[in-house]
Amino acid sequence: MTSTRFHNLTIQAVRPQSGDATALRFAIPEDLKQTFSFIPGQYLTLMATIDGEEIRRSYSICSAHLDNFLEVGIRRVEGGRFSNHALSLKAGDTIPVMPPEGRFTAPLGGKHNYLLLAAGSGITPCLSIAKSVLESEEDSEITLVYGNRTAGSVMFLDDISDLKDRYTKRFSVIHMLSREQTEVPLFSGRLDGDHLHRLFERGVVDPELFDAAYICGPQPMIESVKDTLSHWELSPQNIKFELFGTFDTPPPAKARSEDAIDGAIVEIILDGSQKTIQMDASKQTVLAAAQQAGLDLPFSCAGGMCCTCRCKIVEGKAEMDLNYSLQDWEIEAGFTLACQSRPLTDNLVLDFDAS
């Protein structure tokens, strides 16, 4: 089934990056400018048919809010079918792209002081936030702490240097390297909660300055950094995080409970209309069942990480196999991820239009 949620975009330029990565720059036709407008921190979902199979992957936007193009950063993942395909694309190729999504966002306007903490390809949404905030908010400040293995694996080094040159007083960056010695010993090592704690303790970074922190990297890094930020009394609602900038290798699901209902009736509300499917929760998720029934639900990673399939339970109960993106308050408010949900009641009503 071809999804109507995608638009064919042409690659305007390819900017190779160190660390076996690249940036794909898309031209946005005039009639799609509104559809593809974005809030810094959001991502695009790209689609390709590889060996006869339709594959989707999400990549964070790394361009600035005011740029007249959209750019995503992609690092090759060993064995990653999509990333290997994406790194073979060239200027002039077209690829189906879903409009921007995501809630790891820094809405523009006002004056802010943000701490951005990125590891590896997690730099992409942070770069967009840094560029956009510095360009659009003349009194705002950004501190970026960016962790990589080696100097040779740092993505977007030129873009970061350019920000340093342009915004000398409002942008500062600390590069941390885990497999190479740095000139400043404190900057050698992995970016994690302990290391961030040392940066705070020694006054290299002042945690009291920040309105909010944005974290993007692998899950262990996010968890430990979140703990440190909470310890230094940054309030939870001002700590935003996203699991990496790409979802090429979804983690394994947890074991399912035995309460999942076979033969459940699931009503789906989407784009103002209602459809009903019947499904066996022991065998498939709501997303898989809906796809099998020919419904065009929004999804990207199918791994509980991107939140594209977020919907609200308005009747009945469901459980998720895993969840790396919904926050506690969203679960309490009844939101779930269709790609991970299995009905626990005979009837389940899911509203994809609920915000």
Residues that bind ligand FES (CB under 6 A): 299-302, 304-309, 325, 337, 339
CB of 256 to ligand FES, least distance (A): 16
DSSP string, 107-147: --SS--EEEEEEEGGGHHHHHHHHHHHHHH-TT-EEEEEEE
Encoding tokens for residue 315? 């009747």
Q: Whose structure tokens read 């399939």?
A: 309
CB of 339 to ligand FES, least distance (A): 3
CB nearer to ligand FES: pick between 225 and 307: 307
CB of 45 to ligand FES, least distance (A): 9
Q: What DSSP state is assigned to residue 253? A: P
| Pairing verdict, β 43-50 and 53-60 | antiparallel
CB nearer to ligand FES: pick between 147 and 298: 298
- Closest C-alpha to 72, from 13, 151, 141: 13
CB nearer to ligand FES: pick between 229 and 320: 320
Terminal CA-to-CA distance of the chain, rounded, Å? 27
CB nearer to ligand FES: pick between 19 and 217: 217
CB of 8 to ligand FES, least distance (A): 21
CB of 306 to ligand FES, least distance (A): 3
CB nearer to ligand FES: pick between 149 and 312: 312
Encoding tokens for residue 94? 């077209």
30 within 8 A of 212, measured Cβ to Cβ = no
